[in-house]
Amino acid sequence: MLNWTDVDTVMFDMDGTLLDLHFDNYFWETLVPTTYGQRIGLDVEAAWTHLQQEYRALHGKLDWYCIDYWTDRLQLDIQGMKNDARDKIALRPNVLPLLDRLQTHGKKVLLVTNAHPGSLNLKMQHTGLQKHFQRLISSHELGLAKENEGFWTALRRLEPYDPERTVLFDDNFNVLQRARTEGIRHLFGITLPDSQRPPVQHDEFVCLHDFKQIMPPMAGAAHHDR
């Protein structure tokens, strides 16, 4: 599926790739509509209908991922609400074994996320994952979402990498398509980004159900794990 000797740099998305997307779906589709509805005097269904229109208008743009934008737009303490719901933040299967294995292989391992720095910091504090990465990069640093034209080219200036020797794991197919357009060679989607929802597939990309499917061999071993 992947010859790890062809890879120097490993990039991971965060939500839906390393972390169960259930937290984010619950937050934006249940908690925010409920709280917003209470604030403006709408029932949850009416608030959700309104918010869906707001979400769709910004989907794929940097503001869609921006805590500051939604805090101002909805007049809600989005960061505080995320902090209060943090117990729902959970790792996807075999994330830690893969990250540990990549360290033994000496790969450059980067976290590249559209999440706002406030959300990124919360999730790193809750999971302790930051120690597994050489660098944590929020797309807000570059002023572009990962699916926007020029993001992956701009990322090379911030954190140099060889696209031909890079692998990206991301549950967002628009992001994978943009990364492919800008030269990243090895691309994998995620079959079950949200553990509480049905699996997804995509004809253009190999999708992983569990990171054990892509686990590199033990450093120095002559055979692949089964």
Other Cβ atoms within 10 Å of 196 Cβ, number: 10
Is 6 tagged catalytic? yes
- Distance from C-alpha of 181 to C-alpha of 152, rounded to nearest angstrom: 9
CB 147 within 8 A of CB 166: no
Amino acid at 95: V
Sequence-distant (≥ 6) Cβ neighbours of residue 10 within 8 angstroms:
102, 107, 108, 109, 110, 166, 167, 169
Catalytic residue numbers read 6
